[in-house]
């Protein structure tokens, strides 16, 4: 199932189990994974674009290896919040993932600032700015970290309300 709502995503995923973060770029897919308690996001690596079939196969391998229970896929909205051309590509990729992993919940999450944050982090690390693979991997980690924090906060609110 694909959702754009973090509240719906929280309802659909279990309280434990790793979450997979993906930053879909033109040439690379950055990949991050959370711990099983959904508290920390860690960068894994970047996939270089090959065929859609091989991308899905690689992601399935990662999902199985880490026993991921949900996927967070960055949605590259324009700065004003509108959908640009890349959004359609990412939505099509999400549909392929959804078909490939029928029982997996996929959150399409606004990633407008994760790539910029990754760029700033690379600058502080004094890493070559053109390191797209690392940039996408860090963007996936930042994106997943934001979602994990939102999940933590929402679950805390729900506990106080007795939900």
Mean pLDDT over 91-99 rounds to: 91
The predicted-structure confidence for 104-136, as pLDDT tens digits, reads as follows 899 999 987 666 665 666 566 655 555 777 888
Looking at residues 52-77, what average pLDDT do you find? Answer: 93
Mean per-residue pLDDT, 134-144? 91
pLDDT band at 48 (very low <50, low <70, confident <90, very high): confident
Confidence (pLDDT) at 78? 81
Rounded average pLDDT over 26-52 = 92
Q: Are 20 and 63 in contact (CB under 8 A)?
A: yes
Confidence label for 84 from pLDDT (cuts 50, 70 and 90): confident
Q: How confident is residue 47, by pLDDT bands cut at 50, 70 and 90? A: very high
Average of pLDDT values for 64-88?
91
Neighbouring residues of 19: CB distance < 8 A, sequence distance ≥ 6: 13, 33, 34, 38, 41, 68, 69, 70, 71, 72, 144, 147, 148
Residue 24 burial (CB count, 10 A) = 23
Residue 1: both structure tokens together: 């199932």
Q: For the chain, what is the mean pLDDT?
A: 87
Calculate the CA dihedral of residues 47, 50, 56, 61 and round it to 10 degrees. Answer: -50
Task: Enumerate domains of the chain plus CATH numbers.
Answer: 2-161 (3.30.420.140)
- Report residue 17 as tokens: 């189990």
Relative to beta strand 70-75, strand 19-24 is parallel
Pairing of the two strands 70-75 and 105-110: parallel
pTM of the model: 0.87
Q: Is 16 left (phi over 0), alpha (psi -120 to 50) or beta?
A: beta
């Amino acid at each position: 199932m694909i959702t754009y709502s973090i509240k719906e995503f929280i309802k659909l995923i279990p309280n434990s189990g790793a979450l997979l973060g993906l930053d879909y770029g033109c040439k690379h897919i950055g990949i991050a994974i959370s711990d099983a308690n959904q508290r920390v996001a860690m960068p894994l690596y970047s996939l270089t674009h090959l065929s859609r079939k091989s991308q899905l196969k690689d992601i399935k391998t990662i999902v199985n290896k880490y026993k991921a229970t949900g996927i967070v896929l960055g949605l590259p909205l324009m700065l004003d919040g509108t959908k640009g051309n890349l959004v359609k590509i990412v939505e099509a990729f999400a549909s392929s993932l959804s078909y490939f992993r029928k029982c997996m919940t996929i959150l399409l999450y606004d990633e407008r600032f994760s790539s910029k944050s990754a760029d700033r982090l690379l600058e502080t690390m004094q890493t070559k700015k053109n390191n797209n693979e690392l940039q996408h991997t860090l963007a996936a980690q930042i994106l997943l970290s934001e979602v994990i924090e939102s999940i933590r906060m929402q679950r805390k609110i729900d506990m106080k309300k007795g939900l």
